[in-house]
Structure 1
Amino acid sequence: MTTQDMVLDVRDLVVEFPVGRGEKVHAVSGLDLELRAGETLGILGESGCGKSTAGRAIMQLPPPTSGSVGFDGHELVGLPARTLRRRRARMQLIMQDPISSLNPRRKVKDLVAEGLSIWGFDASLHDGKDKDTVVRELLEAVGLEPDVVWDRRPDELSGGQCQRVCIARALMMRPRVLICDEPVSSLDVSVQAQILNLLEETKERFSFSMVFIAHDVSVVKNISDRVMVLYLGKACEVVPSDGMHRTSVHPYTRMLLASIPGAETEAAADASSWVGASVKTTELPSPLNPPSGCRFRTRCPLATELCATEEPRLREIAPGHLVACHHVATGESGSALA
């Protein structure tokens, strides 16, 4: 992958939160992430694994404890506030709760146009159209009728309508990268499919790359080109979503696949043969004091003494497929554990 193909390059991202008495929460620990132009990278894991924290740290909300975040060839970490705000304008965030993320006092027309109001409106960049026309066209692009929602406030809209407003507001800045932090988890199932289809359609139309964060395996697998699986702040596997159920080899990824209701895939069946009786515990360890070595070892049925003393590193076992596990042999994706 060439430098021109990469819009986001994150290296050794660390996010820690002090909690007093010399202790700190190890939310994200040494995360590496690459995002190509036009790609959707899914970030998958249980609640508390650091998914949302990683997404916000990439946006510098707040800045990470350490590490590097390269966006469009520019380093974001350590930039002066004014320079950061300007460079970050083309990296937008869609939050989990669409209603609380919108100012309840402002009307839809003002919410969507907020970015233009802050950075200035240049008609020459919009084929000579005025601002209201641009806002109306964008509302139509996300499936809202401008005449209906124009003067409404967030409390007069449904959850799905509010999420469409959030998407329109983000797209107004013509982002290069859109970070979606569990954008459908608070919506009804019938609305979730509409929002997911909308994201895919607008991604194609407006030509941006996307980081899609969620804990729903099926949702992440279906919308993503590649999937990064996080566990307790660390990446344990990065796998192409096409055929993920066949090629995933990390025990944690297999457990996630086995958790899908009605799963009948080979990987899920293989995992379900030892999920339950063989798993040591279902409890997620505390991020205040993560386990030594492999952080998944306290729940992994394959754990050995090596897993407690040596931390596994992400390594490529097939083109585009990386895994951090001592018990996976280098070779073709989908091969048996070593």
Structure 2
Amino acid sequence: MTTTRTTGRDARPPALSARNLVVEFPAGRGRKVHAVSGVSLDVAEGETLGILGESGCGKSTVGRSLIQLPPPDSGTVRLADVTLTGLAPEELRRARARIQIIMQDPIAALNPRRRVKDLLWEGPSIWGSGDDTHGKDARIDEALRDIGLDPATVRDRRPHELSGGQCQRVCIARALLLDPAVLICDEPVSSLDVSVQAQILNLLEATKRRRGLSMVFIAHDVSVVKNISDRVMVMYLGKVCEVLPSDGMHHEAVHPYTRLLLASLPEPRRSPDTGLSDGGEPLAPAGPAADLPSPLNPPSGCRFRTRCPLATAQCSDEEPPLRDIRPGHLVACHHVEPRRNHP
């Protein structure tokens, strides 16, 4: 079983938890895309869990399955004390007010025919908190000010009259109007300019602290995930490779795939003591990086073994369990030993 547990530092009851999520998609001729294979996770109250990996690793599918879009083929998702998986449609609709998602493409996420004020009021109207029409304008204006937009300027505009960053702020405001406990951020800055990315990340971090939100932040950019997350969960081909605190990621990451991701960062700093990069000496993949295995037919044993320079026969025969090597640090690799005397 692949398990991601809350660290000792965040040993509060999880705001969101998932166990053994499996998501598969039909691919014709009786084949299946194994998008997510046995992923488990916990997100503590007020914590941000980052999910990191290359395109196709299953990270976005995990995020969508947490909000039941689509529901996982097997496994369970709990939002505080409510089990979302298996809920009747009306019960699930009510529960979703407490867990909202921000999509990757903000312009595509907004109805182009509707004005900003109407887009923001969709959620309260659907979930029954929009009956107070007298206070509607005040709530909309407050939501816009909270995310750094001038209500008088944008409330009557349509999405095509806004920039990409403004559209993403509207998406954030729309989610926050429902006062959720958990926010799923699915690559929320990948389609934005670098300067705008920083603004949106700062906005999300400030909003999280002000409201006590829990967040799942999904991205392929190592630096972005590291900077906004409390913990990072690294995925490869539908599986969890490593889970560790973000503040020690460069120094403490030990899984060959995580180290490969860290080695992709420009100009890695070198340690004056060891001469190694922050994550240890980068490991080159055993074969061409472009020769990636397919989720239609994932490798046996460790799914990273076809690219791993440490791969042995054991990696082909046995799937490595996700195990603690020190408190709060989990790794799925046969060649990593627990650090029993780690401070």
Tell me, what secondary structure is at the counterpart of 1:290?
A: coil
SS in 1 for 2:36: strand
Residue 169 of structure 2 corresponds to residue 164 of structure 1: yes
Cα shift readout 1:175-228 (whole Å, capped 9, x = no counterpart): 100000000000000100000000001111121100000000000000000000
| Map of 1:97 onto structure 2 | 105
Asked if structure 1 preserves the Cα contact closer than 8 Å seen for 2:250 and 2:279, the reply is no
Q: Please tell me whether the aligned partners of residues 123 and 130 of structure 1 are also in contact (alpha carbons under 8 angstroms).
A: no
Question: Over residues 57-94 of structure 1, what are the superposed CA-to-partner deviations in whole Å (9 max), with x where a residue is unaligned?
Answer: 11110111111101111111111111101011110000
The question of 1:271 aligning with 2:288 is answered: no
Query: What amino acid sits opposite 2:153 in the alignment?
Result: V
1:250 equivalent to 2:258? Answer no
1:28 corresponds to which of 23, 36, 41: 36
Offset of residue 122 of structure 1: 6.5
Match of 2:337 in 1: 329
Cα offset for 1:121?
Answer: 3.2
1:134 is displaced (CA, Å) by 1.2
Q: 132-141 or 180-189: which moved more?
A: 132-141
Match of 2:157 among 144, 152, 155: 152
- State TM-score, norm by structure 1: 0.93
Q: Which residue of 1 aligns with 2:94?
A: 86
Q: 1:294 aligns with which of 295, 299, 302?
A: 302
Q: 1:18 Cα shift?
A: 1.2
- Structure 1 residues 21, 333: CA separation in 2 closer, same or farther (over 3 Å shift)? farther
Counterpart selection for 1:316 from 309, 320, 324? 324
2:192 aligned partner, one-letter code: L
Residue deviations 1:314-335, cap 9 Å, x none? Answer: 0011111000000000115989
Local SS of the residue matching 1:9: strand
Give the Cα–Cα distance (whole angstroms) in 1 for the partners of residues 245 and 61 of structure 2.
Answer: 23
Unmatched tracts of structure 2, length 5 or more: 1-5, 271-275
Q: Which residue of 1 aligns with 2:288?
A: 281
**Following the alignment from structure 2 to structure 1, what is the Cα–Cα distance between the partners of residues 280 and 338?**
19
Q: TM-score, normalised by structure 2?
A: 0.92
Give the aligned partner of residue 212 of structure 1.
Answer: 217
> Percent sequence identity over matched residues?
65
Q: Gaps (5+ residues) in structure 1?
A: none
Alignment of 1:52 with 2:60, yes or no, is yes
Q: Is 1:75–2:83 an aligned residue pair?
A: yes
- How far is the alpha carbon of 1:263 from its aligned partner? 1.3
Residue number in structure 1 paired with 2:203 = 198
CA distance in 2 between counterparts of 1:86 and 1:102 reads 22
Q: Equivalents in 1 of 2:336, 2:134: separation in Å? A: 57
Contact residue 53 and residue 235 of structure 2 kept, 8 A = yes
Q: Distance in 2 between matches of 1:203 and 1:129?
A: 28
Corresponding letter in the other structure for 1:212:
F
User: Alignment partner of 1:69: what SS?
Assistant: strand
The change in CA–CA distance for 1:334 and 1:212 in structure 2 (over 3 A counts) is farther
Q: In the alignment, residue 37 of structure 1 is paired with which amino acid?
A: E
Paired position in structure 2 for 1:231: 236
1:239 and 1:303 mapped to 2: Cα distance? 22
**Which amino acid is the alignment partner of residue 73 of structure 1?**
D
- Structure 1 residue 279 displacement after superposition: 2.3
SS in 2 for 1:138: helix
Distance 1:82 1:269 in 2: 47
From the superposition, tell whether residues 326 and 30 of structure 1 become closer, same or farther in structure 2 (CA, over 3 Å). Answer: same
Determine the C-alpha separation between the residues in 2 that align with 1:269 and 1:211: 24
- Report if aligned partners of 1:43, 1:230 keep a CA contact under 8 Å in 2: yes
1:304 to 299, 312, 319: 312
Which of 20, 23, 33 matches 1:15? 23
Instruction: State the alpha-carbon separation in 2 of the partners of residues 286 and 87 from structure 1.
Output: 35
